[in-house]
Amino acid sequence: MAETTKALKLTFTNSEGKKSSLTLSKVAKDLTPEIIGQAMEKISQANVFNKEGKDLYISPQGAVYIERTVTDAYTNPEAKDDKQD
């Protein structure tokens, strides 16, 4: 059985001019580029994400959806389920 998940990866430049990303795993499926851009602007303007003295999300650069599909390849029929009996 295959399970597909979808995440939104937001890319910014940080206060050192390097790329910094924020990945959101639970996002609405109908987000427009305008809505994503506005959200990224709000994140950068909030200026609340800081690590080791550098601001992480200064300038929005772009966003991509990342889809991940996990498909079972083999399951040992004798393996116990993780659930306690």
Tokens describing residue 2: 């295959």
Asked if residue 10 lies in contact with residue 44, where contact means CB atoms within 8 angstroms, the answer is: no
Output the average pLDDT for the chain: 91
Phi, psi at 43, each rounded to 5°: -60, -45
Average pLDDT over residues 56-69: 96
**pTM to 2 decimals?**
0.79
Read off the pLDDT band of 1 (50, 70, 90): confident
Number of Cβ within a 10 Å radius of residue 4: 9
Across residues 34-48, what is the average pLDDT? 96
| Residue 55 burial (10 A CB sphere; 0-12, 13-18, 19+) | middle
* Pick from 45, 75, 74, 69: nearest CA to 57: 45
